[in-house]
A and B are shown apart, each in its own frame.
Chain A
């Protein structure tokens, strides 16, 4: 959990994903399209993958990946990110992190 919390604040936009997860990739593409370079953590490549998965689920994610943190706060998974974007509430949130 500590690891997750620490990593999630490393950068403005942090995405926890798995190398095999293509929806995580879709979320990554979306942020890049908005001009943001998110920090990607592929937890399946991390030795503490299991613990991180559990931590992410405990934080409220229905699926461990993709888990999107903006400004250190959990925004949600693919559904939440897409809903926010379509309701025009994603861009204001990532504005400070656009490079």
Chain B
């Protein structure tokens, strides 16, 4: 008996092993130790194509015949049958495992998708007016993951904003030290600056989205100027809350109002020019010939400029807040930030009320 010869065990379906008698007993051991599940150690399992040619090479010819005379010792039939059963069990096990892993992957993706939907739904409940408007108009916006992330972040931002406003309100009703108040004011300022950073990142992903204000409630959108609130509007809202102002402060506020208006007007005119040049580049060439390829590059370049306009508008908002902070005392700044926060809260509440009113049947 040649114990080291190659044994072609039939590819009942697909597998052929090159093995020795020692390996046969190793398998049996393996099989027993692994609870009946066969786990090959160092077996070479060639592909189907190879198998076909190999089986053709066997001297016995028929693929289903066991070639065992040279291999087994005492109970050839039993061993070979057990081996075949091992292989079959192992193969089935691998197929089951593969199916299970695929199922896990699909479920995982589904879970992520559901989590995102849930967050969006939570926001819908929060900003009723916002979503109703878009649905009524039939918008179905396909949002990139960056924008979806921005919407979620913005939801958190508003929650934190509301918390800060409540805290300011409570604290200002009682006795509070300037030190503690300064901390709250600084946090509120940082919170606004954080929003500007978020918007800047989102504008790079989809500037039209930021410009459209789809992430805001309808009433807020109505007052929008280049992707956010008007700096001059901010000053108009806050001013009544600062009386009494010292003389120097009155002067400073007056200067700020004027320069804010001038800066806003300048940027607005720049925006108008951008719109004109964009119209020109879209309408360039011969309309009606159905060819837009050459002009589209020019138009795309114009659109890039839109991102810098959104950034500039936020820069004006940032600087206006900063200057107010510089001019006012800590206590005045706290009252101002509370007033500003409540103003936006009221706009959001107005949006909800309006949306609910429209839903009622006439």
Contact: B316 with A82, CB < 8 Å?
yes
Instruction: Please report whether the interface of chain A is mostly helix, strand, loop or mixed according to DSSP.
Output: helix
| B132 → A minimal CB distance (Å) | 35
Give the segment of B112-120, B200-208, B213-221, B263-271 that binds chain A. B263-271
Which residues of chain B are near A49, meaning CB under 8 Å?
none
A29 CB within 8 Å of chain B: yes
Pick the contact of A25: B259, B273, B316 (CB < 8 A): B273
Taking chain B's interface residues, is the majority helix, strand, or loop, or is none over half, making it mixed? helix
Residues of A with C-beta under 8 A to B326: 87
Find chain B residues with CB under 8 A from A82 CB.
263, 312, 315-316, 319
The answer to whether B262 and A30 touch across the interface, beta carbons within 8 angstroms, is: yes
Residue A58 is within 8 A (CB to CB) of chain B in the complex: no
A68 to chain B, nearest CB (A): 13
B301 to chain A, nearest CB (A): 7
- CB proximity to B under 8 Å, residues A47-99: 78-79, 82-83, 85-88, 90-91
Question: How long is the Cα–Cα vector from A81 to B17 in the complex, in angstroms?
Answer: 79
In the docked arrangement, what's the CA distance between A25 and B255, Å? 23
Interface flags, B317-328, vs A, CB<8A=1, else 0: 001101100100
A2 within 8 A of B: no
Extra contacts besides A79-B315, A86-B323 (12): CB < 8 Å: A20-B301, A22-B274, A22-B277, A23-B270, A25-B273, A26-B266, A27-B266, A79-B312, A86-B316, A86-B320, A86-B322, A88-B252
Task: Tell me the complex Cα distance, A22–B308, Å.
Answer: 10
Which single member of A25, A29, A78, A90 contacts B312 (CB below 8 Å)? A78
